[in-house]
């Protein structure tokens, strides 16, 4: 899985998903988390190739969050 932080604005999730879709990476599941005072969303994307997804997203200025211990 890959965790990303997105601004809570229309189109930001679509942008991230298009990056993965254009690279022909499937997303198996999506979890989101937010709070009332937050202007960002934490999004966890279940993908079969997390390292490839991280590289693509980072290269497109999407903030990837390190959640591994």
pLDDT in tens, the chain (69 residues): 999 999 888 999 999 999 999 999 999 999 998 876 678 889 999 999 999 999 999 999 999 998 764
Give residue 14's Cα distance to chain centre.
10
pTM for the model stands at 0.86
Q: Which 8-state DSSP code applies to residue 38?
A: -
Largest CA distance in the chain: 35
Residue 49 φ then ψ, to 5°: -130, 80
Q: Which residues of 17-47 are buried (b: 16+ CB within 10 A; e: fewer)?
A: eebbeeeebeeeeeeeeeeeeeebbbbebeb
């Amino acid at each position: 899985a890959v965790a990303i932080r997105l601004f809570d604005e229309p189109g930001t999730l679509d942008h991230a998903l298009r990056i993965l879709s254009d690279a022909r990476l499937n997303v198996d599941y999506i979890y989101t988390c937010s709070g009332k005072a937050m202007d960002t969303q934490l999004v966890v994307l279940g993908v079969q190739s997390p390292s490839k997804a991280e590289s693509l997203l980072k290269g497109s200025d999407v903030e990837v969050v390190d959640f591994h211990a």
